[in-house]
């Protein structure tokens, strides 16, 4: 670290956490990676619900820049954007986190996070999810009826409350920026779904995975989320933080785990492998990195984040069986 005492950045990124419950007439069955199916069904239903012109291509539609569908699902950079102007899409303002369901159960739940301005579209998102489940194909062949919606009272609190529909949606409002707890001296990072990070254009495998790989991705991702989806873009010493992250030492027990999904757009099966396992950091001052690490539990890290890849949780302590911070 530099000689200046480390200070945590203030990150203004409102994150709304929601849980949509569904019921079915038969036992629900999903693959090991249901996030892809949820995202695909959601995109199809969202377009049907939001599209007013039925234009064959969004890019040439008169409403392209004001329609909720391209904002939520395609997320092109605004014409006046100073960042990522060469890209066709910027980070999407949501993440899907399907909950595991009991074998033989005729019900399931989808947790999802909305970032910044996307929270204003909560009613449309909920409607599209219900439409996805009730559609002809359902979600991964499961025909689902939307049952109820919950909201986490505070990010990471673990306390959930029902939202009365439809009137309750109007009262939800924009969530406040989360209160981030203080940094810990020893922490376990438990990577729960494959994390796909790149370094110099190549995927980082278990043997090469370093703290700087995770932090660098979180720094870029959270910066872009605040820039494109809030009115308070992140301002920080990007180079200084990145350099300091390379000095953080961590122990790890990681492996490469493959996931497969079928892409309707490309009409082929795709492999979505990534790093999975645990990292332990002890004896390092994580203060300047902590806001990003803590928020990253809900933004996820790496490619495929919107489908649930790159999810991790922080635990207090650097030993197995440590206390969950959530």
**What angle is formed at CA 292 by the lines to CA 129 and CA 69, rounded to 5 degrees?**
25
Q: Determine the Cα–Cα distance for residues 57 and 318; give it in Å rounded to an integer.
A: 51
Specify the pLDDT at position 172.
85
Specify the pLDDT at position 102.
82
Specify the pLDDT at position 107.
95
Query: Omega into 166 within 30° of 0, i.e. cis?
Result: yes
- Residue 4: other Cβ atoms inside 10 A: 9
Q: Which residue spans of the chain are classified as CATH 3.30.70.1900?
A: 186-324
Q: Residues in the chain, how many?
A: 326
Specify the pLDDT at position 258.
85
What are phi and psi for residue 107, nearest 5 degrees? -155, 155
Please tell me the class of the 186-324 domain.
Answer: alpha beta
Q: Determine the Cα–Cα distance for residues 225 and 177; give it in Å rounded to an integer.
A: 13
Q: Determine the Cα–Cα distance for residues 254 and 88; give it in Å rounded to an integer.
A: 33
Specify the pLDDT at position 128.
97
- DSSP string for residues in 85-96: TTSS----SEEE
Specify the pLDDT at position 318.
57
Which stretches of the chain score pLDDT less than 70? 1-7, 84-88, 260-270, 318-326
Question: What is the C-alpha radius of gyration for the chain, rounded to an integer number of angstroms?
Answer: 20
**Residue 13 near residue 226 (C-beta atoms within 8 A):** yes
The helix (H) or strand (E) run that includes residue 50 is helix 35-50
The 3-state DSSP class for residue 237 equals coil
**Residue 46 near residue 124 (C-beta atoms within 8 A):** yes
Specify the pLDDT at position 85.
64
Specify the pLDDT at position 186.
93
Strand partners, 324: 315
Q: Determine the Cα–Cα distance for residues 287 and 323; give it in Å rounded to an integer.
A: 19
The helix (H) or strand (E) run that includes residue 106 is none
Helices (H), 230-306: 238-245, 290-299
Specify the pLDDT at position 270.
67
Residue in this structure with the two tokens 């036992």, named with its chain if needed = 27
**What angle is formed at CA 204 by the lines to CA 200 and CA 205, rounded to 5 degrees?**
150
Specify the pLDDT at position 8.
72
Task: Kindly report the pTM of this predicted structure.
Answer: 0.91
């Amino acid at each position: 670290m530099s000689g200046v005492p480390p200070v945590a950045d203030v990150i203004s990124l409102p994150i709304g956490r929601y849980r949509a419950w569904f019921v079915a007439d038969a036992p629900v069955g999903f693959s090991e990676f249901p996030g892809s199916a949820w995202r695909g069904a959601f995109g199809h239903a969202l377009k049907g619900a939001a599209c007013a012109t039925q234009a064959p291509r969004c890019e040439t539609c008169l409403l392209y820049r004001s329609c909720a569908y391209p904002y939520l699902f395609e997320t092109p950079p605004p014409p006046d954007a100073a960042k990522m102007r060469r890209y066709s899409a910027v980070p999407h303002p949501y993440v899907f986190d399907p909950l595991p369901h009991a074998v033989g159960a005729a019900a399931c739940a989808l947790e999802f996070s909305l970032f910044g301005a996307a929270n204003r579209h909560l009613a449309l998102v909920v409607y599209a999810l219900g439409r996805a489940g009730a559609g002809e194909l359902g979600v991964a062949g499961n025909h689902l009826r939307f049952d109820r919606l919950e909201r986490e009272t505070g990010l990471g609190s673990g306390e959930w409350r029902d939202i009365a529909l439809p009137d309750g949606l109007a009262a939800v409002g924009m969530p406040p920026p989360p209160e981030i707890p203080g940094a810990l001296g020893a922490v376990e990072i438990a990577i729960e779904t494959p994390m796909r990070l790149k370094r110099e254009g190549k995927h980082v495998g278990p043997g090469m995975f370093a703290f700087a790989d995770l932090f660098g991705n979180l720094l870029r991702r959270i910066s872009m989320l605040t820039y494109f989806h809030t009115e308070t873009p992140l301002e920080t010493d990007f180079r200084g933080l990145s350099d300091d992250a390379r000095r953080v030492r961590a122990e790890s027990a990681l492996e490469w785990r493959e996931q497969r999904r079928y892409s309707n757009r490309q009409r082929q099966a795709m492999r979505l492998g990534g790093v999975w396992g645990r990292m332990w950091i002890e004896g390092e001052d994580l203060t300047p990195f902590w806001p990003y690490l803590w928020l990253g539990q809900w933004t996820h890290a790496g490619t495929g984040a919107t489908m649930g890849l790159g999810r991790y949780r922080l635990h207090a302590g650097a030993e197995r069986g440590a206390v969950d911070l959530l």
